[in-house]
Amino acid sequence: MPSATLTFVFAIERGAPAPLTLHRTKAAVPFAGKYRVIDFTLANCLHSGQRQVLVLTQYKSHSLHKHLRDAWSLFNAELGEFITAVPPQMRGGSGWYGGVLDALRQNRYLIERSRAKHLLLLDGGVVYRMDYAELIRCHREQGAGVTCAVRPAGGALAPCEVMLDCDAADRIIGLHPTPADLPTDTLFDAPMGVYVVDRSLLLAELDALAAAEADAAPAAFAESPPGAGADLATHLLPRLLDRETVCAYRFGGERGRVTPDRYWSDLGSTDAYFRANMALLAADPPLDLYQADWNILTYQGQYPPARTVPGPKSGNEGIFVNSMLASGTVIRGGGVSHSVLFPLVQVEDGAIVDEAILFEGVKVGEGAQIRRCICDKDVVIGPGERIGFDRAADEARFDVSPDGIVVIPKGQTV
């Protein structure tokens, strides 16, 4: 099965949350104290036996390329295995990728020279765990031309702009925009950015599909087109429903080797990103990071262990409560509670960090107080600063989300 499937991971869009994608693509956004968002998709590929993976990149891709090199150079090329970044090659013109189908069209030669029978198409900007081997097996069992993984949406679950209509045999028979007046307690099937397509079918339809996608794309998406979740559902499926067998694969079922925690998040806003990280601090978190045979790989610097030490002036012990602390972090007499700290964070004497996400290299100065904040990489919070207590004052200096989450941009000294 692995050699019969060629995997494309789409990481071409800027995506959301916008304040965190100023300097990186969505797939490269840090998540859960040590990972990047794309690590979850690539870990799924690794554990599912998918060892021929092409990552299509475009928007501010240096950070992502570096991460792929440092964290994912683990496959054996002599065995035909690879994870390779593919920026626009401009073989069919001088344009960037105009969308996911256009990205496939521009890389038609990679599909044509592959011996794979199926293509696995994945959105690299979402967080979930899934055994793709079972998805592909289901696709074969059903004799489908296209299989779309579906998730429940509506209510308190992650929203989706597209609703899928499925029959009793889990064949997709229609799709339409989600009504604005849909009752909040209504659940429906939604695409999750995971598709299996027969190679011959895609090659036969690719030019027409890409042209239709281009005609429908708003000009505003020229720099950063939508991600695979939305674009493939709206531009791939409708043209094939009447002519091909298009099946749904229900996410979070009992098939497969991964624990069915049924977690899926597109981190579609600052507030969604913040809530997703905070949820990991629960006693029973919704996303299982601790399944021993389904670990999430990433790059980890060779940093010393995290530690707490007494403050040099106060002599008070550094403390942390219900928080994630990555390697290299030092709390010198400060206090950290209900927070997620990435590597090499420093919290100085008397500083208080509460309900915050601190990216790599953040420094919180002596006596500073921050709450409900996201500090991007290498932010420096000066001594005595107070952030997250006065919304009007915060909005005058920073980006503040509707729920009041303050985002301090990369490298800023406050």
> pLDDT value at position 223?
54
Average pLDDT over residues 313-335: 97
Please say if the pLDDT value at position 225 is more than 90: no
If pLDDT is split at 50, 70 and 90, which confidence band does 211 have?
Answer: confident
The stretches of 283-404 forming alpha helices (DSSP H) are: 391-397
* C-alpha 59, offset from chain centre: 15
The mean pLDDT of 57-78, rounded to a whole number, is 94
**307: three-class secondary structure by DSSP:** strand
d(CA 146, CA 194): 11
Q: Where are the domains of the chain?
A: 2-294, 307-408
Angle at 166 between CA 161 and CA 171, to 5 degrees: 125
Taking only the tens place, the pLDDT of each residue in 268-315 is 999 999 999 999 999 999 999 999 999 999 999 999 999 999 999 999
Q: At residue 85, does pLDDT exceed 90?
A: yes
pLDDT value of position 140: 96
Which of the two residues, 288 and 218, has the higher pLDDT score? 288
> What is the average per-residue pLDDT within 248-258?
91
Range of lowest pLDDT (97-111, 312-326, 398-412): 97-111
d(C-alpha 281, C-alpha 113), whole Å: 46
Please give the backbone phi and psi of residue 400, each rounded to the nearest 5 degrees, phi first: -125, 130
For 339-385, write each residue's pLDDT tens digit.
999 999 999 999 999 999 999 999 999 999 999 999 999 999 999 99
Contact of 182 with 158, CB cutoff 8 Å:
no
Q: What was the pLDDT predicted at 94? A: 72
Mean pLDDT of the chain: 93
**CATH for the stretch 307-408:** 2.160.10.10
Amino acid at 27: A
Residue 140, Cβ density class (10 Å: 0-12 exposed, 13-18 middle, ≥19 buried) = middle
Amino acid 369 reads Q
The model carries a pTM of 0.95
Q: Is the pLDDT of residue 103 over 80?
A: yes
Residue bearing the bigger pLDDT, 220 or 138:
138
Q: Tell me if 15 sits within 8 A of 26, measured CB to CB.
A: yes
Residue 252: is it exposed, middle or buried by C-beta count within 10 angstroms (0-12/13-18/19+)?
buried
Residue 151 pLDDT exceeds 70: yes
Give the chain's end-to-end CA distance (angstroms, integer).
53
CA dist., res. 336 & res. 321, Å (int): 6
Q: Which amino acid is at 398?
A: F
Topology classification of domain 2-294: Spore Coat Polysaccharide Biosynthesis Protein SpsA; Chain A (3.90.550)
Q: How far apart are CA 219 and CA 222, in angstroms?
A: 6
Q: Report residue 281 as tokens.
A: 């601090």
**212 has a pLDDT exceeding 90:** no
Q: What is the mean pLDDT of residues 11-29?
A: 92
336-349 residue pLDDT tens: 999 999 999 999 99
